[in-house]
Structure 1
Amino acid sequence: MTIVAPSILAADFTRLGDQLRDVEAAGVDWLHCDVMDGHFVPNLSFGPFIIKQVNGISNLPLDVHLMISNPEKYVDAYLDAGADYLTVHGEVIKHDTEILQEIRRKGAKAGISLNPDAPIEDYFPLFAHIDLFLVMSVYAGFGGQKFIGDVLSKVRTAVEWRNKHGYKYLISIDGGINLDSAPLAKAAGVDVLVAGTALFKAPDMASFVNHLK
């Protein structure tokens, strides 16, 4: 069954505790936390303090996506705050696997993410060192964008590469995930659906989550 991870960026932060409890009751599996620095992406979100607060409210695994230019400076801060999965951008680390190995050495799961226009083949050297591959189906930085269907070829390539080499990483997709795009992503082979706006605005969260799964 597909893992569903609501993106807390789409939550109402004046009611964050209540909304986290609502999505947990609706049957989600993880919580996805988007960290933005205003440099790698043209937006700002939140830092380790909020991650720590979320970790104190929920027992669900925290899937932390670092959309930042210098992730190596903040590994300890986010792991100490409670991140279970820590994902950095391939466009930032290039072929340097040290940060991925560091995350794993410290007991968390390491991930990489790629924007829609980043060719997956350029980053194959990283795939032996990851537990999660996050495909962006919108351009990183803002919620509520429209799903870019062309990235599904990247999902299929990641599935083929995983099978060819016997890797165990999960494949996640984030951006514009709703009841129309989710079946397409699942058919391509994703394991994790990150849903933001559509989930938090769903009249019946439990029904929405059930349909995604």
Structure 2
Amino acid sequence: MMKIAPSILAADFANLGQAVEQVDQAGCDLIHLDIMDGHFVPALTFGPGMVKALRSHSDKLFDCHLMMAEPEKWLADFVEAGADLISVHVEACANLPEVIKKIKSFGVKAGVVLNPETPVSFIEAVLPEVDLVIQMTVIPGAGGQAFIMETLDKIDQLVTLRHTKKLKFLIEVDGGINAKTARICREHQVDVVVAGSSVYQSENLVSAIQALR
């Protein structure tokens, strides 16, 4: 069954602890935390201090998506704060294999992220080492964007590589997820969808998560 990862980027920042508890109780599978540094992407969100503050509000896996330049400088801080899975952008890493190796050295899961325009070939060498590949289906940096349908070709490439090379990484899709696009993702063998606005701007969180399933 496809897993649902609500993104707290779309929640009320004045009540993030409550927002995490709400989606936990509503039946989500993991919590997606978008970490933006104002450099790799224009937006600025929060850092390891906020991750640590939120950790006590849920036992669900904390899926930390680092939209940061030089993410390797911050890995230890996010691990200490309570991250269970840390994903970095290939576009932000001068030496992606070393960054993945460093993440795994802390005993947490490692993921790699592809922007919509970045070829799958850029990450093929690390696919045997990662636990997760996030395909961005919007331009990273802001919520509420429409799903870029052309990225489905890249998702299909990832599925094919996983099958032919007998690998075990999960495929996560991030951006523009609603009930319609979640169904499309499921048809393309996506394992996890990140949903922000379609969850947190709904009238009923339980119904929103069920609709995505």
The reply to whether TM is greater than 0.5 is: yes
Equivalent residue number for residue 11 of structure 2:
11
State the 1:105 CA deviation.
1.8
Contact 1:2 1:212 survives alignment (8 Å): no
Q: Which runs of 5+ in 1 are unaligned?
A: none
In the alignment, does 2:27 pair up with 1:21? no
Tell me the secondary structure at the aligned position of residue 111 of structure 1: strand
- The answer to whether the 8 Å contact 2:116/2:151 transfers is yes
2:203 match = 203
Report deviation, 1:14.
1.3
What are the ranges of 5 or more consecutive residues in structure 2 without an aligned counterpart? none
- The DSSP-based 3-state class of the residue aligned with 2:127 is helix
Q: CA offsets per residue over residues 43-83 of structure 1, 9 Å max, x none?
A: 10000001001111111110000001111100100010011
Residue 51 (structure 1) aligns with: 51
For the residues of structure 1 that align with 2:101 and 2:93, how far apart are their CA atoms? 12
Give the partner amino acid of 2:38. Answer: G
Secondary structure of 2:133's match? strand
Task: Give 1:96 deviation, angstroms.
Answer: 3.0
Aligned length: 213
Residues 12-38 of structure 1 deviation map (CA, whole Å, 9 limit, x = unaligned)? 011222222111111001000001111
SS of aligned partner of 1:5: strand
The answer (yes or no) to whether the contact 1:137–1:175 under 8 Å persists in 2 is: yes
Matched, 1:152 2:149: no
1:93 Cα offset (Å) = 1.9
- Shift of the alpha carbon at 1:99? 1.2
- What TM-score do you get using the length of structure 1 for normalisation? 0.97
Alignment correspondent of 1:191: 191
Match of 2:98 in 1: 98
- Counterpart in 2 of 1:122? 122
Contact persistence 1:113–1:133 (CA under 8 A): yes
Deviation (angstroms), 1:94: 5.2
TM-score (norm 2): 0.97
Q: Which residue matches 1:75?
A: 75
